[in-house]
Structure 1
Amino acid sequence: MSGGPDISGSDVAELETSLGHVFDDKSLLLAALTHPSLAGLRGGRGLGTYERLEFLGDRVLGLIVAEMLYRTFPQEDEGALARRFAELVRRESIARISGAIGLGRHLRLAASEAGSGGRDNPALLADAGEAVIAALYLDGGLEAARRFVEPAWRPLVAEEIIPPQDAKTALQEWAQGQGLALPVYALVSTAGPAHEPRFAVEVRVEGHGKATGSGKSKRAAEQAAAAAILARLDPDGFKP
């Protein structure tokens, strides 16, 4: 049973170029690209697939991104850094990077998974992306992982996805201060390709209407919507 290329020859060379690392142990890269549906494993053990590597890759990515933020924003406090960090290591962000390097076409999937759009599935791309980062770490150490993560994530860091002040929290506090129900958020639309989606979210505040915001993740769109309605409700109290 198959659904993806065997990782060898020009295929692996192309991916290694995107990752900035030539693997000594190609089996690590192979495992990072193998979906559990192809292995046909029982009991959810994840051996030989990307599941165990995904666990490790999440931690490696977190360390590298945290260090990037610590160095990039020396004047920000822990809370602001934590908000940025949460956005940068979310599945949507990892899927964006995975899509940008064409990781989907290298994945090893069962025919059923490939036929149902698995190569463009953001959740699958995020899982495999974390696994590839773990494979880089295991094969070449933290520096090998860093050489891929830092340039790949730098544009996302520059986007400043979450403003230093959290608009959602500010809006919630404003509503509570007015004795109102908590703001209600609803997804309005999703557009764009799977690796670079654009979300639109609407927020309603009891007795004060609604506002819409957009962003490259649902959370970013919620933040934008909250900031938009706050600009009308409390223009002097919220300074993003």
Structure 2
Amino acid sequence: MATSISLFTQNPDDDEFDYHVNRMCLICNKNLFNSAKKKELYRYIRSRGFSRHLWYPDGLTLLRGRDHSKKATAQNRHALAEKTIADVCEALIGASLLSGAPDHRFDMAVKAVTAVVDNPSHNASCWKDYYALYSLPKYQVLSPDGAEVNLAERIEEKLGYHFKYPRLLRSAFTHPSFPSAWGRAVPCYQRLEFLGDALLDMVCIEDLFARFPDRDPQWLTEHKMAMVSNKFLGALAVKLGLHRHLRHFSTPLQTQIPQYAEEIQTAESESEGAVDYWVDTKDSPKCLPDMVEAYLGACFVDSGFKFEVVEAFYQRYVKPYFHDMAIYDTFANKHPTTFLHNRLTLEYKCANYCLKAGEIPAVDGSAGGVLAAVIVHDEVIAQGTSSSSRYAKVKASQKALEVLEGILPTEFRKKYGCDCREGQGSEDMDIGTAI
């Protein structure tokens, strides 16, 4: 969240793709490892229990007894993987967040992020620095027209937040297909969506971390996936009536959005009050979850970067679906990317695989896209394309599962030359990131 806000404020002309790439460079394991190495953070990492027999304070001279100093020096050395040191950096940010003062609870964590990413793209020392770096764009401060004011009033009636800058809301509900010349230079929702996605992720993590102190990281990650999934956010957009306000110029969306809305509304009416009615419905058009995230981003910016508006939205409209997290215990296992990961690691015992995605350049004015590929032992077994990295990876995972359908472990090892050790997992396919 911190790096997303910083990039959003310092790079007002970047698009969503640039944001994702730059954020990845900031928070990737390699950058965290290099920063920790430069600061000699590894000197303070404990990887085994403390032994009073092998510990010697600096500056003391042994007067009598057996000298274990050489033995201690040899045994106290430990090999730490790059990912281990990066994990320690992330844990320090978490500890800093939990140690923050109630009235300025993010300040220490913001300072920790600056220390561990060690990059000019994030040099804030406290939360207030973010808004100080933000320059109000021209489109935001221009006087709204009647339609924009009317939209803000209608959304305020539904969701309760009053926009000081109605044009931010108009931007949050403007699809990339809508010609900018028709909208008085109001940009599409992609930048606000990038910001809102990070804000929503943070508020969900905080709530789960506080409510379930005894749960392990995997459980927390898998259940957070349900809360921030496109499947849920698409259903939420329909529940809140946001789908009626999307401004677009796409013929497929003219039929896809009403059809999806009808299915969601039917599923809810037949659910007899069950809050997970959305789980077994079809996937929503991606623009609908994007609208929810962009709306959150717009509220955050409009409020002067107050995280409380994000928390208020979460408490009122998201959390009621997730009071009982047990009903989502199997949600992550149904996701194609997670299912593929489990099949490769648990069934085939394969460690040499990855799921990668990259941008397809636009040609002759046509819209670009994202290509994702599943690679097993340096062989591409499946690929998928979409307008976003998330959906491209889902399509590639689905096709990979079709390719692997019915293949026994012995056949898999022979076909792909797999000689991985049993029980070893892949670090290249980070499920939380992939999804």
Structure 1 residue 21 corresponds to structure 2 residue 161: yes
Equivalent in the alignment of 1:142: 307
Report the equivalent of 2:192. 53
Residues 86 and 115 of structure 1, relative CA distance in 2, 3 Å threshold:
closer
Partner of 2:208: 69
1:110 lines up with 2:275 in the alignment: no
- Separation in structure 1 between the aligned mates of residue 241 and residue 321 of structure 2, nearest angstrom: 17
**Residue pair 1:53, 1:134 contacting (<8 A) in 2 also:** yes
Residue equivalent to 1:154: 319
Measured in 1, the distance between the counterparts of 2:228 and 2:212 equals: 17
Q: Distance in 1 between matches of 2:316 and 2:297?
A: 17
Change (3 A) 1:166 1:49: closer
Q: Determine whether 1:36 maps to 2:176.
A: yes
Q: Which amino acid aligns with 2:159?
A: L
What is residue 87 of structure 2 aligned with on the other side? none
Task: After TM superposition, give the deviation of residue 175 of structure 1 in Å.
Answer: 4.3
Structure with bigger RCO (C-alpha 8 Å, 6+ apart): 1
- 1:91 is aligned with what amino acid? N
Distance 1:53-1:164 versus aligned 2 partners, 3 A rule: closer
RMSD: 3.3
Equivalent position amino acid for 1:36 in 2: P
Cα deviation digits, residues 89-126 of structure 1 (max 9, x gap)? 11111112111101011111226355333464531101
Match of 1:125, SS state, is helix
Aligned 8 A contact 1:80 1:165 in 2: no
How far apart are the structure 2 equivalents of 1:164 and 1:104? 25
1:126 to 279, 289, 294: 289
1:93-108 equivalences in 2 (<5 Å):
93-108=232-247
The structural deviation recorded for 1:58 is 0.7
Q: In 1, Cα distance between the equivalents of 2:345 and 2:213?
A: 28
The answer on whether the counterparts of 1:25 and 1:139 sit within 8 Å (CA) in structure 2 is yes
| Partner SS state of residue 178, structure 2 | helix
Question: Which deviations, in whole Å up to 9, do the C-alpha atoms of 1:31-51 show, x marking residues without a partner?
Answer: 00011222348xxxx961101
Mapped to 2, the partners of 1:69 and 1:113 lie a distance apart of 37
* 1:8 corresponds to 2:175: no
| Paired-residue identity, % | 25
Distance in 2 between the 1:118 and 1:153 partners? 21
Matched to 1:130, the amino acid is: E
Structure 1 residues 78 and 111 mapped into 2: Cα distance closer, same or farther (>3 Å)?
A: closer
* Contact 1:175-1:205 within 8 A present in 2 as well: no
Task: Tell me the secondary structure at the aligned position of residue 193 of structure 2.
Answer: helix
Alpha-carbon spacing, 1:175–1:74, altered in 2? closer, same or farther (3 Å): same
How far off is 1:163 after superposition?
5.0
Question: Helix, strand or coil: the match of 1:117?
Answer: helix
Residue type of the partner of 2:236? I
TM-score by length of 1: 0.60
Q: Can you list the C-alpha shifts for 1:155-178, whole angstroms capped at 9, x where unaligned?
A: 33224413599696888777459x
Q: 1: CA distance between counterparts of 2:345 and 2:188? A: 45
How far apart are the structure 1 equivalents of 2:333 and 2:245?
A: 38
* Partners of 2:148 and 2:167 within 8 A in 1: no
Partner in structure 2 of residue 194 of structure 1: none
Encode CA deviations 1:166-196: one digit per residue, 9 max, x unaligned: 696888777459xxxxxxxxxxxxxxxxxxx
Cα offset for 1:71?
A: 1.5
Is the 2:190–2:294 Cα contact (8 Å) retained in structure 1? yes
> Per the alignment, in what secondary structure is the counterpart of residue 76 of structure 1?
coil
Gaps of 5+ in 2: 1-145, 261-283, 350-404, 409-435
